[in-house]
Every structure is written in C-alpha cells, then in structure tokens.
Amino acid sequence: MITLCHAVKGGSGTTVVACTRAINSPGPALLVDFEGDVPLALGLDRPVRPGVIDWLASRAPSAHLDDLLVEVTPNCSLLPAFETAADVLTGETERWDQLVDWLTEWTNDSGGSVVIDAGTTRLPMQFVEQCPHRWLVTRACYLSLRRSCHLRVRPTGVVLIDEPGRALRRTDVESSIGAPVVATLAWDVRIARSVDAGLLLSGRLPRPLHRAFARVAA
C-alpha cells in the first residue's frame, strides 16, 4: 500500500502524520521524504548520502534507491530527500514512473507499506495519480478547505487536525473536500514540542496520536 500525505498550506502537520503513520505501521514501512523535514522531526542526523530527489535528477538505475535507505527503526526505513532544488521535482515522466514501480515492488517484496511526506510540494500528476491512497492533512480552516477545492487530483481520505474554537465540523470538511475523514487528531501542544525537539521517535507523543492511526493501519 502506498499512502501519499500532502497539504495545501504549510504547518498543517503533514510530516507528523506521515512519520507517525510509518512508525506505527504493523508491518515493514518505508517513509519517503520530499520536503526534507523528516530527519529533523525524528531527531536523526542529516543524511550524507544522496536522496530520492537526487536520484530523480540522475540516470541511476532504480536498484540504486536501495542504497539510499536510512534505518529509522528495525521496522521502518527512510528514503530521504537531501537535495532541495524544487525544479528537480518536475523531472522526466519516465523517472517518476520508475519510482512508482520501485515503490510498488518494495511493498510487494516486503509485505509492508509506503508512506510519502509530500507536504506542500507539487508533485507531478502522473505520480500522484498512481498513489492508491492520497491523504490530505488539513485543519478545519475555511482558507484551507477553499484551496482544497482546487486540487488537481482529489484526495481519497482526509486527516483532520481538530483545533479548539473552529466552527467547521467533520461533516463540513468531508462535504467540502469530497473525501471521508480517515483520522482525526486533536491539536496538542505536546506534539508541537516533540517536533521542535526532534523527539518523534522518543515514544513521548500522546497516546491518542498513535491510536488514531492504529484504526487505519493496513
């Protein structure tokens, strides 16, 4: 299973959602980082080897992607971004198709799942369309929902960040975006502090965060 996590506004919590989903996966998991924030959020050293964006800009065969993986936990590996040049993400169609093929092969061989942290990066449509699960991470914010109406590829699910004081409800979000809410995460200052301190791997996150994704685990 390949799950793409994305957002229409920065600061929505996409990296937290992607990391938590991957780390809490019941089987092997591969976390793909297109934003470059995952190592910092997890408290990992910045990778010294190339990443997925460098691979897209190269002519290296798909097999080289195996050499770029970084172990996060015994059950979870990271394919880092490394290069941050946004124009690379426009890459050739063939390279993106090769990446999808490699990710699909990884899931088939491992029996695990792939979680992609796309953040607000505009990935090519032919890549996004080939991701079976596309989760939009959003707050119940009028501006975010308005932007979501103009997405080129519709989400298959929504991860709702439930902030206190918002007037819009879950049903409003679902009807506006046209996709079901697959998980609801209550806004919690402890999560922000854990991210700022690079402690997402420490096990100190509130239990409701883990339980929310246990319900949608493959």
Name, in order, each residue with C-beta under 8 angstroms of 34's C-beta and a sequence gap of 6 or more: 52, 53, 81, 89, 116, 117, 118, 119, 121, 123
pLDDT in tens, 96-128: 999 999 999 999 999 999 999 999 988 999 899
Q: What is the value of pTM for the model shown? A: 0.87
| Phi, psi (rounded to 5 degrees) for 9 | -135, 140
CA atoms within 13 A on the CB side of 75: 14
The CATH fold assigned to 2-214 is Rossmann fold (3.40.50)
Query: Domain extents for the chain?
Result: 2-214
In order of 13, 92, 100, the CA distances from 205 in angstroms are 14, 39, 32
**Amino acid in position 34:** F
In order of 5, 9, 141, 191, the CA distances from 13 in angstroms are 10, 10, 13, 10
Residue 159, both tokens: 């991860």
pLDDT in tens, 152-186: 889 999 999 888 878 888 998 999 899 999 988 87
